């Protein structure tokens, strides 16, 4: 199975940024663990701080390049109707993930514009949210 993980803005700073919320492990280090755990699958990773680049990657992966997409849109979760529309437009299933429990954080983080476009949401399990999303895609 080919799965693409897409991370949005500031997630390139994992391991350095707000460790009390996001932990001390970089995504590159965690990604190596995922690749090892799911060695029979083709798992790729893309990160961008730019909304249009995320949309372009959703389009590319969503029409045949990927069997499923794990998306942590970061702050764009709470602002981007354009990313929501891109998810609705593609064929590949998308699971929204968040490292922290966004419902237990600031009020503005409680609304996800992308959740209604996704097949599901996994939030609050730290980096393990990505593993759970991959397992959910594989179980479909």
DSSP code for 18: -
Please indicate whether residue 98 is annotated as part of the active site. yes
Q: Which of 30, 76, 98, 113 is catalytic?
A: 98
Please indicate whether residue 59 is annotated as part of the active site. no
Structure token pair of residue 49: 């701080």
Burial class (CB in 10 A: 0-12, 13-18, 19+), 60: middle
Helices assigned H by DSSP within 12-97? 19-22, 27-37, 51-60, 81-89
Q: Which of 22, 30, 76, 130 is catalytic?
A: 22
- Residues that are catalytic: 22, 98
């Amino acid at each position: 199975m080919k799965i693409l993980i897409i991370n949005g803005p500031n997630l390139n700073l994992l391991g350095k940024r707000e460790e009390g919320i996001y932990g001390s492990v970089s995504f590159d280090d965690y990604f190596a663990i995922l690749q090892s755990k799911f060695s029979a699958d083709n798992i790729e990773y893309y990160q961008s701080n730019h909304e249009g680049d995320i949309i372009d990657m959703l389009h590319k992966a969503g029409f045949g390049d990927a069997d499923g997409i794990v998306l942590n849109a970061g702050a764009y979760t709470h602002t981007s109707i354009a990313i929501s529309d891109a998810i609705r437009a593609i064929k590949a299933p998308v699971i929204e993930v968040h490292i922290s429990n966004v419902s237990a954080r600031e009020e503005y983080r409680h609304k996800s514009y992308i959740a209604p476009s996704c097949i599901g949401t996994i939030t609050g399990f730290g980096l393990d949210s990505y593993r759970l999303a991959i397992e959910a895609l594989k179980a479909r």
